[in-house]
Amino acid sequence: MRIKSFVKYGFAVVGVALLAGAAISYTNTNKFLETAVTTKGAVVDLLKIRSDDSYSFKPVIEFTAANGQQVEFTSLGSSNPPAYSVGESVEVLYSPSDVQSAKINSFSALWGGFLVMLILGVVFSCVAAVMFLVGKLRNRRKAYLQRNGVAVEAEFQSVSRNRSISVNGENPFVIVCQWLDPVSSAMHVFRSESLWFDPSSYIKDKTIRVFFERNNPMKFHVDVSFLPKLTR
């Protein structure tokens, strides 16, 4: 599979997985709220969490359930500076059938995970959709130029790297060729689509066919169909 296909499908899979996770989180939170009981609790400690070179703090909450059981739990959310102070009173929600499922009654504690997964899922899915759309439009333009465009034999110049694209620190290759318009004497330089292997050893001829739109050489397609197909 070509690298760009791997990236495209990777974004799509991650996006769908995150959206599915957001849907599950939303459903579970709603079910929890349907039976949850409200009570008062207190912050008894701040759990220090190290992440790379920084720290954040999770509040440790203690409360008494309706059956008299003393319950202590650590909130999932962390922040720096800490959102709560030791001794601070907080409102707690818990399920009578599972007191360990307790959460602080705040928007971030209840819906923070859902929102993070939703936003990331939408971003990844949109990036994947744009990549699919761009690929489809590129293929349509290629087919249109091959059917209706002007075909010329451009002189092969070189193989270079496309520094504007980088995947895992690697830049793809492009074939550079040029064609002199015999009517206007204008020199046109064409660059192929990005190639994830070095095509140098496969270029045997001095010229490469290029298709461009009539009266508009800026819209072109360099024919690289002579190259082998990259399968992985």
| Average pLDDT for 18-27 | 96
Token output for 102: 């307790």
Burial of 7 (0-12, 13-18, 19+ CB in 10 A): middle
What is the H or E stretch that residue 37 is in?
Answer: strand 37-51
Is residue 23 over pLDDT 90? yes
Q: Pick the residue with more confidence: 167 or 64?
A: 64
In a domain, 140, yes or no: no
In a domain, 167, yes or no: yes
Q: What angle do CA 205, 206, 211 make, to 5 degrees?
A: 90
In a domain, 196, yes or no: yes
Residues 14, 97: one domain? yes
| Average pLDDT for 22-47 | 94
Output the pLDDT for position 168: 80
Tokens 């690697």 belong to: 170
Is residue 1 over pLDDT 60? no
Output the pLDDT for position 114: 94
Is residue 77 over pLDDT 90? no
Residues 21, 107: one domain? yes
| CA nearest neighbour of 190 among 206, 173, 202, 174 | 174
Residues 97, 154: one domain? no
Residues 34, 97: one domain? yes
Output the pLDDT for position 135: 82
Band (61; pLDDT cuts 50, 70, 90): very high
Residues 7, 68: one domain? yes
Band (53; pLDDT cuts 50, 70, 90): confident
Residues 159, 106: one domain? no
Is residue 2 over pLDDT 70? no
**Range scoring the smallest mean pLDDT among 3-7, 103-107, 198-202:** 3-7
Residue ranges making up the domain that contains 97:
3-116
In a domain, 131, yes or no: no
Residues 158, 71: one domain? no
In a domain, 64, yes or no: yes
Output the pLDDT for position 76: 85
pTM, to two decimals: 0.68
In a domain, 176, yes or no: yes
In a domain, 40, yes or no: yes
| Average pLDDT for 104-109 | 90
Residues 16, 110: one domain? yes
Residue 75, CA atoms < 13 Å, CB-side half-sphere:
35
Residues 6+ apart with CB under 8 A from 39: 63, 64, 65, 66, 91, 92, 94
Residues 14, 87: one domain? yes
174-212: pLDDT as tens digits = 999 999 999 999 999 999 999 989 999 999 999 999 999
Residues 92, 171: one domain? no
Q: How many domains does the chain have?
A: 2
In a domain, 227, yes or no: no
Token output for 39: 């009570």
Residues 109, 184: one domain? no
| CA nearest neighbour of 75 among 67, 84, 66, 64 | 84
